C-alpha cells in the first residue's frame, strides 16, 4: 500500500520496502524513492477517495506551473481545469471502484493540448479496500513535435467545431459530455461550462433515453460505428425540443472507443411545420370529401392533363381512373365545351378565370363551376394550370328559382311586369310584335261578393286560358290586379287582330269560381302593333293602353286596335 502524507507535503512517507525517506547526502550508495519519482519524465500523482491530491511529483508540478506544495490537498477540478475534469474525474472514479485503467486521450492546457497516455491504478489497503489511486501520465506526442499539417488539421477541426451552425458535442465512452460548441449550449439554454461532465441522461427526454443508450452500447460492443435518431432534449426549465442526432465513434489503434462525436440539429420548427401541414392536409381532405367534384392540373410545356381521382369518380363512379384532357372533355356537353377552353390561360393572356358548364356524369347532368389558375415560372412564362371543378347544380337551380320568383307572378305562374320587360328587352330589335292589354270586366263585383279565394281562382283560370290561346314563343304576363298583357312575337297586324277577337270570346266563357251566383266575368282588350319592341316598347304599351280605354268606353266585352 502507498501511504500518503498529510496535506501540505508533496511526497508520500513510504513507497515500498523503504520505510523512511532520508536526506540524499546520507545515502551515497542509493537514490531516495521521492527523488526517483521527481526524476521521472512522466507525471505521477496520488489521489484520495475524495478526488483530492495526496501527492504530485516535480514533473507534474512543472507541467502545471506550480509548486508541489500548492497542488497537494487541492480538488482535482481546481488543477486540471474544466475541459479536462469530466474525463479525468470519471477515470478516477472507475479506478476507485477497483478497476485498472489505461487509455490515450488529449490533455488540454490553456490554449495548448497534449496527446497523452494515462494509467489509473487502484491502491488497495491490507483488507482489500481502495485507499486511493496512483496516476501515471506520459506524453505520447508533444505539441511542439506535431508536424505542421497535423497542427493545421487540429486548428481547422477546432474552428469548425466551435463555429458550426449545428450543435456539436464530444462525449466520453461512459456517456459524459467532454466538450460542446456554442450552438449546442444555446440549444440546451445552458452555459457550455455547465454542460461539461453531465451525462446524456441529464439532458435527454426520459422517453428517448433508452433508445439512445442502447445504440451507444452497441457502438462500445463493436456492433456498429455510429447511429442517427430523432430525440428530444430537455432544457433547465423543463421544456423540450426535437433534434436530429448523428453519433459517430472515435477509436484508438486497438479499436477501443476513445470518445463519441455528436452532431445535433434542432428540428423543432421543422416538426411543428410538418404537424401543421398534416393538420392542414387533413382539413383539406375533409373539405375535399365534402365537396362534390374535384381538381385537375396541366403541365403547359408537355400538355399533360390529369384529373384527380375524386373528380374522376364524381364523373364515372367509384371505379373510375383519372382522365386526360380528351377523356374529361368528352363528358362536357358539346354546346358548353367552348366555355371550358383553356387557350387564353395557356397563352398567358389571363392568370385566372371561372366558367360554368354542364357535365354528363353517371348520376346525370350536373352544372359545374370550374375555377382555373395559371402558375408562371421565374421568367413569367406559363408553366402549369390548376383547376377546381365543383358541382353547383343545387346552387344553379336555386338561382333559376330565384330569377323565376323575381320575374314571375306567384299566383298565376305568368310573367310579372319585371319579367315581361326583361323578355321584351331580350328580343331582337328588328322583330315585329303585337301587344294586347287585357282588363277583366265584372271582376271587382265577383271579388267583393264571393271573396278573394274565388277571385284568385278566376285569375288563375284567366292565365290558363290566355296561355292556351297563344303560341309557345309568345309572352303572357299579369301586370297587376286583373290586368294582363299578351305579346305576339313576330306577328303581323292580321294575326294580332285575329287573336284579339278570339281572346274576347275565350274570356267570356263561364268561370267555375262563379258557380250559381249569377255573376259573369268578361274582358276588354286594347291592341297595338310595332315593328321593333326593343326601341318602341314604352310607346307600344301606351298605344295599347289608349286602345283598351276605348274598348271599355265602347261598352266592354270588345277590343280595339290602336291606330
Long-range contacts of 506-510 (CB under 8 A, 24+ apart): 506/465, 506/466, 506/468, 506/469, 507/438, 507/440, 507/462, 507/465, 508/557, 509/465
Q: What is the pLDDT of residues 349-401, one digit of tens each?
A: 999 999 999 999 988 999 999 999 999 998 899 999 999 898 888 888 888 77
Q: How confident is the model at residue 327 (pLDDT cuts 50, 70, 90)?
A: very high
**Nearest alpha-carbon partner for 382 in 346, 358, 355:** 346
For the cut 60, the answer to whether the pLDDT of residue 151 exceeds it is no
What's the whole-model pTM score? 0.39
**Nearest alpha-carbon partner for 200 in 223, 225, 180:** 180
| Over residues 406-418, mean pLDDT | 91
Choose the most confident range, by mean pLDDT, from 466-470, 518-522, 533-537. Answer: 466-470
User: Taken in order 397, 401, 403, 408, is the CA torsion positive or negative?
Assistant: positive
Q: How many CB atoms lie within 10 A of CB 10?
A: 21
Residue 537 pLDDT: 63
Q: How confident is the model at residue 152 (pLDDT cuts 50, 70, 90)?
A: low
The helix or strand, by DSSP H or E, that contains position 536, with its residue range, turns out to be: helix 533-553
Alpha-helix runs per DSSP H in 201-318: 206-220, 268-290, 309-316
Q: Where are the beta strands (DSSP E) in 396-537?
A: 433-441, 475-480, 483-489, 522-530
**Do the Cβ atoms of 399 and 405 come closer than 8 Å?**
no
3-state secondary structure of 372: strand
For the cut 80, the answer to whether the pLDDT of residue 154 exceeds it is no
Q: How confident is the model at residue 479 (pLDDT cuts 50, 70, 90)?
A: very high
Q: Report DSSP letters for 454-479, one per residue.
A: HHHHHHHHHHHHHHHHS-TTSEEEEE
Q: How confident is the model at residue 520 (pLDDT cuts 50, 70, 90)?
A: confident
Residue 183, CA distances (Å) to 19, 187, 198 in order: 55, 6, 17
3-state secondary structure of 242: strand
Q: What are phi and psi of 201, to 5 degrees?
A: -65, -20
| Over residues 214-225, mean pLDDT | 92
Residue 144 pLDDT: 47
Between 7 and 521, the more confident residue is 521
Calpha distance 168→72 (Å, rounded): 36
Calpha distance 543→526 (Å, rounded): 8
Residue 331 pLDDT: 94
Q: What share of the chain is helix, strand, coil (3-state, %, to 5)?
A: 40, 30, 30
For the cut 80, the answer to whether the pLDDT of residue 287 exceeds it is no
Looking at the DSSP assignment, which residues form a beta bridge with residue 437?
485, 526
Residue 2 pLDDT: 42
Calpha distance 500→467 (Å, rounded): 13
Calpha distance 83→76 (Å, rounded): 12
Q: What is the pLDDT of residues 438-449, one digit of tens each?
A: 999 989 888 888
Burial class (CB in 10 A: 0-12, 13-18, 19+), 413: middle
Residue 536 pLDDT: 52
With a CB cutoff of 8 Å and minimum separation 6, the contacts of 32 are 18, 21, 22, 23, 24
Active site residues: 482
For the cut 90, the answer to whether the pLDDT of residue 305 exceeds it is yes
Residue 25 pLDDT: 36
With a CB cutoff of 8 Å and minimum separation 6, the contacts of 523 are 438, 439, 440, 441, 462, 503, 504, 507, 508, 557
Looking at the DSSP assignment, which residues form a beta bridge with residue 124?
130
Looking at the DSSP assignment, which residues form a beta bridge with residue 115?
106, 141
Residue 5 pLDDT: 39
Q: How confident is the model at residue 306 (pLDDT cuts 50, 70, 90)?
A: very high
The rounded mean pLDDT for the chain is: 84
Instruction: Give the count of alpha carbons within 13 A of 238, CB side only.
Output: 0
Q: How confident is the model at residue 278 (pLDDT cuts 50, 70, 90)?
A: confident
Q: How confident is the model at residue 148 (pLDDT cuts 50, 70, 90)?
A: low
Q: What is the pLDDT of residues 16-52, one digit of tens each?
A: 333 333 333 333 444 456 677 877 778 899 999 999 9
Q: To the nearest whole percent, how much of the chain has pLDDT over 70?
A: 87
3-state secondary structure of 124: strand
Calpha distance 85→97 (Å, rounded): 18
Residue 279 pLDDT: 74
Calpha distance 72→95 (Å, rounded): 19
Amino acid at each position: 500500500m502507498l501511504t500518503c502524507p498529510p496535506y501540505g507535503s508533496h511526497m508520500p512517507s513510504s513507497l515500498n520496502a523503504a520505510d523512511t525517506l532520508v536526506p540524499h547526502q546520507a545515502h551515497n550508495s542509493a537514490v531516495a524513492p521521492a527523488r526517483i519519482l521527481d526524476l521521472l519524465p512522466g507525471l505521477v500523482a496520488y489521489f484520495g477517495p475524495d478526488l483530492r491530491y495526496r501527492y504530485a511529483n516535480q514533473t507534474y508540478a512543472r507541467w502545471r506551473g506550480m509548486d508541489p506544495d500548492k497542488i497537494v490537498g487541492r480538488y482535482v477540478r481546481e488543477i486540471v481545469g474544466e475541459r479536462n475534469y469530466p474525463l479525468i474525474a470519471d477515470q478516477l472514479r472507475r479506478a476507485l471502484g477497483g478497476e485498472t485503467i489505461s487509455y490515450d486521450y488529449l490533455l488540454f492546457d490553456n490554449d495548448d493540448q497534449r496527446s497523452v497516455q494515462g494509467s489509473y491504478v487502484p491502491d488497495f489497503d491490507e483488507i482489500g479496500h481502495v485507499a486511493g489511486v496512483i496516476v501515471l501520465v506520459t506524453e505520447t506526442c508533444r505539441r511542439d513535435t506535431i508536424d505542421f499539417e497535423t497542427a493545421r488539421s487540429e486548428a481547422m477541426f477546432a474552428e469548425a467545431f466551435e463555429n458550426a451552425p449545428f450543435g456539436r458535442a464530444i462525449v466520453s465512452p461512459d456517456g459524459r459530455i467532454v466538450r460542446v460548441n456554442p450552438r449546442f449550449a444555446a440549444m440546451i439554454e445552458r452555459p457550455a461550462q455547465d454542460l461539461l461532465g453531465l451525462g446524456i441522461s441529464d439532458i435527454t427526454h426520459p422517453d428517448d433515453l433508452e433508445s439512445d443508450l442502447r445504440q451507444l452500447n452497441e457502438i462500445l460492443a463493436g456492433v456498429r460505428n455510429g447511429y442517427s435518431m430523432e430525440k428530444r432534449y430537455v432544457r433547465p426549465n423543463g421544456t423540450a425540443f426535437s433534434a436530429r442526432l448523428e453519433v459517430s465513434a472515435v477509436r484508438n489503434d486497438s479499436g477501443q472507443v476513445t470518445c463519441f462525436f455528436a452532431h445535433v440539429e434542432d428540428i423543432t420548427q421543422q416538426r411543428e411545420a410538418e404537424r401543421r401541414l398534416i393538420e392542414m392536409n387533413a382539413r383539406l381532405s375533409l373539405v375535399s370529401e365534402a365537396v362534390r367534384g374535384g381538381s385537375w392540373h396541366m403541365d403547359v410545356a408537355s400538355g399533360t392533363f390529369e384529373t384527380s381521382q375524386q373528380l374522376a369518380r364524381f364523373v364515372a363512379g367509384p371505379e373510375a381512373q383519372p382522365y386526360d384532357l380528351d377523356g374529361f372533355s368528352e363528358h362536357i356537353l358539346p354546346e358548353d365545351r367552348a366555355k371550358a377552353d383553356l387557350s387564353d390561360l395557356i397563352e398567358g393572356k389571363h392568370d385566372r378565370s371561372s366558367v360554368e358548364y354542364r357535365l354528363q356524369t353517371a348520376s346525370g347532368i350536373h352544372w359545374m363551376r370550374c375555377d382555373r389558375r395559371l402558375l408562371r415560372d421565374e421568367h413569367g412564362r406559363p408553366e402549369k394550370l390548376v383547376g377546381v371543378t365543383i358541382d353547383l347544380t343545387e346552387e344553379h337551380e336555386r338561382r333559376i328559382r330565384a330569377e323565376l320568383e323575381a320575374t314571375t307572378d306567384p299566383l298565376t305562374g305568368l310573367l310579372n311586369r319585371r319579367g315581361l320587360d326583361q323578355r321584351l328587352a331580350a328580343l331582337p330589335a328588328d322583330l315585329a310584335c303585337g301587344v294586347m292589354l287585357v282588363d277583366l270586366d265584372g271582376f271587382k263585383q265577383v271579388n267583393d261578393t264571393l271573396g278573394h279565394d274565388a277571385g284568385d281562382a278566376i285569375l288563375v283560370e284567366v292565365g290558363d286560358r290566355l296561355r292556351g290561346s297563344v303560341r309557345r314563343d309568345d309572352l303572357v304576363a299579369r301586370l297587376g290586379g286583373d290586368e294582363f298583357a299578351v305579346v305576339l312575337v313576330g306577328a303581323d297586324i292580321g294575326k294580332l287582330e285575329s287573336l284579339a277577337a278570339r281572346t274576347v270570346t275565350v274570356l267570356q266563357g263561364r268561370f267555375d269560381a262563379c258557380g250559381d251566383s249569377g255573376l259573369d266575368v268578361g274582358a276588354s282588350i286594347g291592341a297595338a302593333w310595332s315593328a321593333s319592341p326593343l326601341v318602341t316598347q314604352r310607346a307600344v304599351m301606351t298605344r295599347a293602353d289608349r286602345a283598351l280605354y276605348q274598348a271599355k268606353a265602347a261598352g266592354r266585352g270588345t277590343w280595339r286596335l290602336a291606330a
